[in-house]
Amino acid sequence: MDSPIQGLHHVTATVDQAQADLDFCIETLGLRLVKKTVNFDNHLVYHFYYGDERGTPGTVWTTFPYKGHGVPVGSNGAGQITVTSFSVPAGSLGWWKARLKARGVAVDDAPPRFGEESVVCVDPSGLSIELVATGRDLRRPWTRDVGADAAIRGLHSVTMTIASPAETIVFMTDLLGFKTVDEIEGRTRLAVNGDEPGKAIDIVHAPGAPRGRNGLGTVHHVAMAVPAADDQLRMREELLRWGAKVTEVRDRQYFQSIYFREPGGVLFEIATVRPGFEVDESAAWLGRDLKLPPWEEPNRSEIEAGLDAIVYR
């Protein structure tokens, strides 16, 4: 079927400490902080959005730093996104390995897959972050901290660990418009609207694997991008007809969202491209001030007093 889904929109993780997360994402990975706000479902906790200059859908990595809020450390397993992959230029992996090692980040070569080399490192919260070298990513990177010959272009893909992959694959192809684009033993690559970086989800077949537990150091969900609100509503209707439990449309200030679980248990979101991160601050100033949605503004002084002090360039 023709799908309104353009590709990935963002990936969101539950992380540990706010400052360590900022340092890793900005200083080490070289991403731009494009929004500093709070978790709209728990305003005691920050919500950081990182990405390219404008936080273009498909480049966005977001985190909830939950340290000190009673969330236990999570564990990886079935029904989870277990690796988040970013794309970097072909030939830059040696530079990345040296940079990560110099900063005390554990990094290893990943086995080559689907014709692309990659390295995998562990972020301060224990998340597996992969850098995939590719010559196929034409997106313009944010280059304040890492030069264009190595800078992250955006999300490459996510890897989901799934106990019964067949049901997940049928769901993603029939309802979301993904296609199987490649396959190796134990792993299927699905992609939507083409197969360039930023459009793929890998399914690792893990029959009998114990279920993962959400918590610190685990990915919370992956979001896919649709152009407009009516595309989202149409997809919502279709998902409901199929029998999925789908949330109402939620206003996330920078996009509108619906959420549902695929049959393997991974939380999926469909998010609109508009209005984007410039809706409440200018492109030059993105990420500098604490931004709150209108309904949280009356609580600003209480919210600010409760959040950890952080510093970043």
Whole-number minimum distance, CB 159 to Zn ion, in Å?
18
* Of 12 and 92, CB closest to Zn ion: 12
* Of 205 and 250, CB closest to Zn ion: 250
Q: Residue written as tokens 């800078």?
A: 151
* Of 88 and 223, CB closest to Zn ion: 223
Residues in region 82-111 near Zn ion by CB under 5 A: none
* Of 110 and 223, CB closest to Zn ion: 223
Q: Are 68 and 15 in contact (CB under 8 A)?
A: no
Q: Are 146 and 89 in contact (CB under 8 A)?
A: no
Task: Give the amino acid at 280.
Answer: D
Whole-number minimum distance, CB 175 to Zn ion, in Å?
19
Whole-number minimum distance, CB 269 to Zn ion, in Å?
5
**How many residues line the site for Zn ion (CB under 5 A)?**
3
Whole-number minimum distance, CB 66 to Zn ion, in Å?
15
* Of 12 and 76, CB closest to Zn ion: 12
User: Per-residue string for binding with Zn ion, 254-293, x by CB under 5 A?
Assistant: ---------------x------------------------
Whole-number minimum distance, CB 266 to Zn ion, in Å?
13
* Of 241 and 245, CB closest to Zn ion: 245
DSSP notation for the chain = ---S--EEEEEEEEES-HHHHHIIIIIIS--EEEEEEEETTEEEEEEEEEESTT--TTSEEEEEE-TTTTPPB-B--BTEEEEEEEEEETT-HHHHHHHHHHTT--EEEEEEETTEEEEEEE-TTS-EEEEEEES---PPPP-SSS-TTT---EEEEEEEEESSHHHHHHHHHHTT--EEEEEETTEEEEESSS-STTSEEEEEE-TTPPBPB-SBTEEEEEEEEESSHHHHHHHHHHHHHHT---PPPEE-SSEEEEEEE-TTS-EEEEEEEEE-GGGSS-GGGTTSSB---GGGGGGHHHHHHHSPP----
* Of 21 and 269, CB closest to Zn ion: 269
Figure out which of the listed residues 12, 14, 125, 256 binds Zn ion, where binding follows CB under 5 A.
12
Q: Residue written as tokens 């490192």?
A: 121
User: Per-residue string for binding with Zn ion, 27-56, x by CB under 5 A?
Assistant: ------------------------------
Q: Residue written as tokens 């480049």?
A: 59
Whole-number minimum distance, CB 221 to Zn ion, in Å?
6
Whole-number minimum distance, CB 286 to Zn ion, in Å?
18
Piece of 12-20, 82-90, 235-243, 302-310 that binds Zn ion (CB under 5 A): 12-20
8 touching Zn ion, by CB under 5 A: no
Residues in region 198-257 near Zn ion by CB under 5 A: 223
Whole-number minimum distance, CB 250 to Zn ion, in Å?
10
**Binding residues vs Zn ion (CB under 5 A):** 12, 223, 269
